[in-house]
Structure 1
């Protein structure tokens, strides 16, 4: 199972000091969090894509490439890539380029985003959000899987004899997750293609999350990709840890109360009861996270939001240290102990997809170069 952290890149004043970091300082801190994630044995670092204040994560491939140059094992991802307002041609080329730079250590999560004004800024209509997501992703798949694309749709100019460059690394496009909180159409899209489904359930109760994941699982099986319990699922989460629950709540409460995304709303106690936010000891985080699988079934990726709401850099680094050293090793052991043998423990990676060869549904439809066929004597019966 993969564990990691994700950042939305918010530029938020520290409510205890009133200080707001400079944009460059915040970007540098996010980079440090990714390096710390690798240091403590986490698998994934993901960054959001936003084009509006107070967020600074407008260029995820640029940032992830910079992190790739300083890491060796960390898988780089997004949370999310805006499939509605980003040209699929740019996505195809940017992420294939990042594949080559990182040696294949990249996947990405497609999403519609949650900021309405972004649509007109990029010449799109928010009322067409779902059709945009469906059409753009279909084009993206073709751009990654066919050397030459002729295409005409509703939302962008036609393509004639177009080849996206560079081609995906080893003719294997990055694995794609579809991120959605409430859109059943996106869960359906993920199931149709046999892609991953990520429910970033940081604001929702577990009952709602379970309903969305169950829909995806049932449709995944309907489309013939495997049994429902073999579908590729990821979840989000939020934690803040200390030696005792009282200490954790005392330290985190000022940040919760003033957070731009949920401040001035439900109390910390109400929010931790209704959502996956866990504020307490590492043991509490372990117990709460293990409970997610009881609700949604065995899943393959768990990402935690650690650096929001103006938390100081040294505090975030300490939280990542606790997560990697004390929490994740126990979660790995416990999740794998309960997982049936036929259920994947990890989501697809570049290495696993490439090893499947031309039989993989994620492989190129028309390889950009001849694919060697194994001799008959080397093929297992």
Structure 2
């Protein structure tokens, strides 16, 4: 089923990192903390040079990750760049003070001259709650209360508020105010839970969906539920941007891409989730309707555009470095993005083509994509 959203601005393409700091799956070597942090900063700078639209750094408080202080890393990238949009991916608001979050990101927005965004998440790994002194039994209530307060601070110059998990605010002026129209773009991070997508629709919040595995149709159900909730609560769903994010790896051939990517992805799952990535599930990535964007440049172009048409998204964010992919490989991926993938996707998505192609017709879809994108050369 093709999207009902009209695509006129083109699809934004970005990169996100969670700061993986994992031993190399083949050699067992692990680079220093200093090197890894500086590589993330360099990655953001190179992403701008490659012409990407967005670079995101997520917050993760666990072993084998290095981006706990993600706002500081974003600040370094903001100072060293001038065009690329920057965002968290995500900021764990459940265990932080929304006042402080707003102060930090408004300051980053001033440093970057209006390029900063917040993607507000709830923590996929709950060890963070003990670390920072919160009760994991309040998992849902903490997130919902703090997300609402963060949005209130963003929208109001003077804040009066009372809740359960922090002292009340009375005639509070939260400063500084952001560079961009005194407001920050704030996205709600959504995983695989339908309830979270529906709640975002009720709130009228744009969503950032992290997709790990599975067919496109599985994830489309959450997007449809989100749009239905928007419409049912008085919003026009076509006015709300949707971003999706997932694993990405490009190489000269599809076979080479999968051979290179699998050891890192599998090892990354072992360190972060306690089990390797199943080879059978990974093998499905060769299919057009599988969510993993791994393969040759042309294969990835077709897969991203298939997701674009199916979901009606305005932004796709690639996770290239999952599992500790070496910096040299990241630069190779950026080269494929800059030289092959970005030009083709931008040509396609800036045309009104959603009424012309049905993604369910896989072979027809691939033929049309090849025809439209090869005209670029």
Indicate yes or no: 2:117 matched with 1:103.
no
Contact 2:129 2:136 survives alignment (8 Å): yes
Q: Match for residue 349 of structure 2?
A: 335
Q: 2:298 is matched with which residue: 263, 283, 299?
A: 283
Give the alignment of 1:190-339 within 5 angstroms.
190-226=200-236, 228-259=237-268, 260-261=271-272, 264-267=276-279, 268-270=282-284, 275-296=290-311, 298-338=312-352
Indicate yes or no: 2:133 matched with 1:123.
yes
* Cα distance in 1 between the residues matched to 2:265 and 2:127: 26
Q: Match for residue 83 of structure 1?
A: 93
* Cα distance in 2 between the residues matched to 1:244 and 1:34: 26
* Cα distance in 1 between the residues matched to 2:188 and 2:70: 17
- C-alpha distance after superposition, 1:158-199 (max 9, x if no partner): 223322111233552111111111233432343234321111
* Cα distance in 2 between the residues matched to 1:17 and 1:97: 41
Contact 1:68 1:102 survives alignment (8 Å): yes
Cα shift at 1:282: 0.5
SS at match of 2:144: helix
Q: Match for residue 365 of structure 2?
A: none
* Cα distance in 2 between the residues matched to 1:275 and 1:99: 36
Cα shift at 1:149: 2.3
* Cα distance in 2 between the residues matched to 1:51 and 1:173: 28
Cα–Cα, structure 1 residues 340 and 286, in superposed 2: closer, same or farther, change >3 Å? closer
Cα shift at 1:74: 0.6
* Cα distance in 1 between the residues matched to 2:157 and 2:277: 51
Please report the RMSD computed on the Cα atoms of aligned residues, expressed in angstroms: 2.1
Cα–Cα, structure 1 residues 98 and 288, in superposed 2: closer, same or farther, change >3 Å? same
Cα–Cα, structure 1 residues 79 and 303, in superposed 2: closer, same or farther, change >3 Å? same
Q: Match for residue 360 of structure 2?
A: none
Task: Work out the number of aligned pairs and report it.
Answer: 339
More displaced stretch, 194-203 vs 25-34: 194-203
Question: Structure 2: 5+ residue runs without aligned partners?
Answer: 1-10, 356-377
Tell me the TM-score normalised to structure 2 length: 0.84
Cα shift at 1:121: 2.0
SS at match of 1:169: coil
